[in-house]
C-alpha cells in the first residue's frame, strides 16, 4: 500500500465480500495513480488473477456506489479509479499527459465548497471536483526542457 492510511474493505460497509472485489481492492491499494477498468483488468491478469473484464466493471461500479473508490474522468469521458482511504473522499490534481495524481489539500477545498453552498443557501452538500493540468516533468518535455509551472 502506498499511503499509510487505513482503508476500508467491502465487508466493512456491508458489501458482500467476494474474491473478485477483494482482488480488485488489493490491486488498487498498490496503484499510485488512477487506473481504468481495462488497465486494472490487465494488472490483475499479469498478477495471475483471472477475472473477466465485465466482472471488473461491475465490481468497480459496486465499489464506487459504496464509496470505496475515487473516480475521475479523462478527456474522452473514460472513468479511472483509485482506492479511497477511510478518512473520506479526496481531491486530486491529475496530469493530462502522464496521469500523475497528487492529493489536493482537502480541508481548503471542503471549506471553499461549504462556503459556496452556504452563500447560495444550500445544505447537505455533495460535490465532485476534478483538477487537471500538466505536471512539471511533462511540462519540461513539452517545452523542450524549459522549466515552468504552466501558468505563463
Q: Which residues contact 98 (CB under 8 A, 6 or more apart)?
A: 135, 137, 138
The DSSP line for 86-133 is: TT----EEEETTT--EEE--HHHHHHHHHHHHHHHT--S------EEE
Strand partners, 82: 70
The contacts of residue 88 (CB under 8 Å, 6+ apart) are 106
pLDDT of residue 4: 38
> So what's the pLDDT on residue 74?
77
SS3 60: helix
* Residue 87 exposed, middle or buried by CB count within 10 Å (0-12, 13-18, 19+): exposed
pLDDT for position 51? 94
Give me the tens of pLDDT residue by residue for the chain, a chain 152 residues long. Answer: 334 334 444 444 455 668 888 899 999 999 888 899 999 999 999 999 999 999 999 999 988 888 888 888 877 778 999 888 766 667 888 888 887 878 777 788 888 889 999 999 999 887 777 788 999 999 999 988 766 554 54
Cα separation, 76 vs 44, whole angstroms: 24
Amino acid at each position: 500500500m502506498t499511503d499509510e492510511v487505513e482503508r476500508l474493505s467491502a465487508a466493512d460497509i456491508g458489501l458482500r465480500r467476494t474474491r473478485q472485489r477483494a482482488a480488485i481492492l488489493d490491486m488498487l491499494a498498490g496503484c499510485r495513480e488512477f487506473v481504468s477498468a481495462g488497465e486494472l483488468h490487465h494488472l490483475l491478469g499479469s498478477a495471475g488473477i483471472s477475472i473477466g473484464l465485465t466482472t471488473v466493471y461491475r465490481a468497480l461500479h459496486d465499489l464506487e456506489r459504496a464509496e470505496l473508490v475515487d473516480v475521475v474522468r479523462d478527456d474522452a469521458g473514460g472513468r479511472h479509479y483509485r482506492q479511497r482511504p477511510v478518512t473520506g473522499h479526496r481531491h486530486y490534481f491529475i496530469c493530462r499527459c502522464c496521469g500523475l495524481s497528487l492529493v489536493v489539500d482537502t480541508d481548503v477545498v471542503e471549506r471553499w465548497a461549504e462556503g459556496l453552498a452556504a452563500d447560495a443557501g444550500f445544505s447537505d452538500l455533495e460535490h465532485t471536483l476534478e483538477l487537471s493540468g500538466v505536471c512539471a516533468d511533462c511540462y519540461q518535455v513539452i517545452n523542450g526542457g524549459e522549466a515552468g509551472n504552466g501558468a505563463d
